[in-house]
Structure 1
Amino acid sequence: MGTSWRRAAAVAAVGLVLAGCGQAAKSSGGGNDGIGKLEIMAPADPGGGWDQTARAMQTAVSGAKLAGSVQVSNVGGAGGTVGLQKLANERSESFLMITGLVMVGAVETNNSAARMEEVTPIARLTAEDEVLVVPADSPYQDVEELLAAIAEKGKGVSITGGSAGGTDHILAGMLLKAKDISPDKLNYVPYSGGGESLAALLGKKVDAGISGIGEYREQIKAGKLRALGTSGPNQDPTLKVPTFKDLNLGVELTNWRGVVAPGGIKPEAKERLTKLVTDMHSSPQWQEELKKKGWTDTFLSGSEFSTFLNKEIGRIRPALQNIGLVK
C-alpha cells in the first residue's frame, strides 16, 4: 500500500512538472500569443532601406518584448525577387519579409516567376522621399546641369541606385522624361544594397546617385554628398533642397515599405502576425526608430493594405512602360 501511494505521488508530481513545462512553453514565446522565434528577411544586401527597416523592426519587436527572439537575414538580388522566390517556398508561420514599391517594379522588369499577388499582405509601415545626389566636388551644381550633361553625353554620365526596375531606377527615368531625354541615354548602375551604391558614389565611380533620403542623409550632413533635389510633395526640413516639383519638372514619387508573409498561411497565423506588427507600430521603440531614421509613418494593415498593394501592382507596369523599362 505504501509503495502504491508513493508511486501515485510520483506520477502526480511528474504530471505537475509537465503541466508547468507546458505553461512555460506557452508563455516563452514573448508577449504576442506564443510567437517564439520571429524571422524577418530583408530581400537585399546589408545597408539599404529594406535592411534598415528589418533591423529597425528587430530592435522594436525585441525592445517591446513582442516575440521570444527576432532573427534578421539578408537575401539580395534582382530587386528583391530572389527573396520573393524564397518567400514563396517558405512554410513557417512566424516569417516576415520586407517589401515595397521597389519589389513591385522589379517583379515586372525581371519577369519574375514569383509574384506579389501570391504573398500574404500584413502591413505598410513607412514612406520615404527619394533624393538625387552627387559627390561633394561634382561639377554638376544642380539638376538642370546634370540632366543637360546626360542629354549631351548620354551613357557617359552614370547614375547609381537600387536594383534595376526599382524606385530609384523609375525616378531616374522620370527625370529624363521630364526633359524629353530618350531613356536610351540613361546609364543606370544598379546595386542590391544601399551600402554598395554609397561606396560607388564616395569612390567617384559614378556621377550621381538616387536613393531614399535616409540612406544618404548622414553623408549629406557630413558634406560628403551634395543633394540636388527630392521627390516628395514637400521639401525635407533637414535637407533644405528643392523638390523636383519646385524645379518645375513635374516629377513626384514616394517610396513605401511594408511587410508580407508567405502565401497560404492559416488565417489565425495572419492574424497573429498582423497583431504583432500592429503592436510594434504602437510601441515607443518603433516610434523612436521612425524619428531616428526620418521615416514617415504611413501604417496600414488588414484589408486596407491588401487593397493598397493590389492598386500598386496595377499601376506600376504602365509606369514602367511609360519610361521604357518594360515593353
Structure 2
Amino acid sequence: MHVRNLFAATVVAASLSTAAIADVSVMLPANPGGGWDGTGRQAFAAMNAAGIYTEGVNFTNTGGAGGTIGLAEFQNSQSGKPDALAVFGAITVGAIMLNSSPIDLSTYTPIARLTAEHLVIAVDARSDIETLEQLVEQMKADPGAVPVGGGSAGGVDHIALALLAQAAGIAVGDLNYIPQAAGAETVTGIVNGTLKAGISGISEFQQFQDQGRIRILAITADERREGLDVPTFKEAGFDVEIANWRGILGAPGMPEDNAAEWIARFDQLNDSAEWQQVMQTQGWDSYYQSGPAFGEFIAEENARIGDILRGAELVE
C-alpha cells in the first residue's frame, strides 16, 4: 500500500509544515501510475487549480483484483464518513463478480462519472477482412476458428466482444476469446497470426494503425471519433455501445449534505477550463454524469455485465 499527500499550495505556504491534516481521503484502488491513480490525482489537482476545493487530500493506493481489494479496505475503514471518496470504473463491476467479492456498489454513494475511453476492434493490416461485418460473418460461421485477443477475462474488452456476439446472434460461450497481458501483446498476436482480431482502447491501438501494422474496423462509441475514420459498431449494424469509464464514489452511508457538496464540486470541475485541459492532455473523453442518475447507471451496468459474464460462463 502506498500513501501520498497532496496539499493545496495555499495551505503549504501558510503552514510550511508537512504535518497538515488532510480534509478528504481518496482511495485509489490500483497501484501508482495506473488509470485510476491518474484520474483521481489529476481530478483533485484540477479542482485545486480551479479554486473549487483547495483543502488537503490524502490519497491511498491499494491495488489488486480489479479494484476490489482497495474498495473492501475503503468500505471497512471509511463507511459513514463525510469526506471519504474512492475512484473506480467499469472494470470494477465485473471484477466484483469474478472475484466473488462481498462489495455491493449499491451501498456506496454515487458522486460522478468522469471520463471514458471507447474501444476499437482491429485486424492485421494485411488481412482480407476490411469491415466489422466481414469479421462477424467469419465468427458466425465458426466462432472457435476466430481467436480474438483483449484484456483480462471478464474485463471491458471481453464484455464488448460479448455484446457484439449477442447483437450478431452468436452464443457468447462459443467465442474464442484469448486474454492478453497488454494492448501491445494483442497487436503482436494480430500481426503474427495467432489472433484473427483484437479489441482494446483507442489509446492502445491508434499508434499501431498509424504505423501501418493493424487496421481498425470500428469503435464502440455512439458517434465517430474525430481523427479516426472508422464507423461505430452501430453504423456497422450492431447495437453496441460501451466505454471503459471511470468515476467517483462516496463512502457507504455518507451523509446526504456531504454527498450533495461533493456532487456540486464535481459538477463545477466538469465545467472548468482546468479539467478540460487535463482531459485534452491525457487523451480522455468526457463521460460526465453525477448523483442519482449515475447511481442508476451503475445499477444498469451491474445488471448488464452480470448477464454477459453468466452468458460467457465466467460466473454462475
Shift in CA distance, 141/315, structure 1 to aligned 2, threshold 3 Å: closer
CA contact 1:197–1:209 (8 Å) conserved in 2: no
Structure 1 match to 2:8: none
Equivalences, count? 294
Instruction: Summarize the alignment of residues 153-164 of structure 1 with structure 2, pairs less than 5 Å apart.
Output: 154=144, 157-161=147-151, 163-164=152-153
Identity value in percent: 34
Residues in 1 aligned to 2:82 and 2:39: alpha-carbon distance in whole angstroms: 20
Structure 2 match to 1:261: 250
Instruction: Say whether 1:181 aligns with 2:181.
Output: no
SS at match of 1:204: helix
What stretches of structure 1 move > 6 A for 4+ residues in a row? none
Structure 2 match to 1:8: none
Instruction: Say whether 1:79 aligns with 2:69.
Output: no
SS at match of 2:289: strand
Cα deviation per residue 1:18-70 (whole Å; 9 max; x = unaligned)? xxxxxx79x87xxxxx964653514478444x344334324423433534455
User: Which sits farther off after the overlay, 310-319 or 239-248?
Assistant: 310-319
RMSD over aligned CA atoms reads 3.7
Residues in 2 aligned to 1:132 and 1:75: alpha-carbon distance in whole angstroms: 31
Structure 2 match to 1:39: 26
Shift in CA distance, 222/244, structure 1 to aligned 2, threshold 3 Å: same
How far the C-alpha of 1:186 sits from its partner, in A, is: 2.6
How far the C-alpha of 1:314 sits from its partner, in A, is: 4.1
Instruction: Summarize the alignment of residues 87-98 of structure 1 with structure 2, pairs less than 5 Å apart.
Output: 87-91=74-78, 94-98=83-87
> What is the aligned counterpart of 1:305 among 294, 297, 309?
294
Structure 2 match to 1:120: 109
Shift in CA distance, 71/285, structure 1 to aligned 2, threshold 3 Å: farther
User: Which sits farther off after the overlay, 250-259 or 314-323?
Assistant: 314-323
User: So what's the TM-score if we normalise by structure 2?
Assistant: 0.73
> What is the aligned counterpart of 1:283 among 251, 272, 294?
272
Give the aligned residue type for 2:112. A
Instruction: Say whether 1:54 aligns with 2:40.
Output: yes
CA contact 2:116–2:285 (8 Å) conserved in 1: yes
How far the C-alpha of 1:308 sits from its partner, in A, is: 3.4
CA contact 1:106–1:164 (8 Å) conserved in 2: no
How far the C-alpha of 1:72 sits from its partner, in A, is: 5.3
Shift in CA distance, 63/296, structure 1 to aligned 2, threshold 3 Å: same
CA contact 2:172–2:311 (8 Å) conserved in 1: no
Shift in CA distance, 35/75, structure 1 to aligned 2, threshold 3 Å: closer
CA contact 1:124–1:300 (8 Å) conserved in 2: yes
User: Which sits farther off after the overlay, 280-289 or 290-299?
Assistant: 290-299
Structure 2 match to 1:7: none
SS at match of 1:125: strand
CA contact 1:40–1:97 (8 Å) conserved in 2: yes
Give the aligned residue type for 1:61. M
User: So what's the TM-score if we normalise by structure 1?
Assistant: 0.71
CA contact 2:27–2:71 (8 Å) conserved in 1: no
Structure 2: gaps (5+ residues):
1-10, 16-20
Structure 2 match to 1:168: 157
Residues in 1 aligned to 2:277 and 2:97: alpha-carbon distance in whole angstroms: 35
Instruction: Say whether 1:273 aligns with 2:262.
Output: yes
Shift in CA distance, 69/174, structure 1 to aligned 2, threshold 3 Å: same
Give the aligned residue type for 2:217. L
CA contact 2:147–2:178 (8 Å) conserved in 1: no
> What is the aligned counterpart of 1:201 among 179, 186, 194?
186
Residues in 1 aligned to 2:201 and 2:59: alpha-carbon distance in whole angstroms: 21
CA contact 2:143–2:176 (8 Å) conserved in 1: no
> What is the aligned counterpart of 2:215 among 219, 222, 226?
226
Shift in CA distance, 184/311, structure 1 to aligned 2, threshold 3 Å: closer
| Pair member with larger Rg | 1
Cα deviation per residue 1:283-310 (whole Å; 9 max; x = unaligned)? 2111112334454434332333334333
Structure 1: gaps (5+ residues):
1-23, 29-33
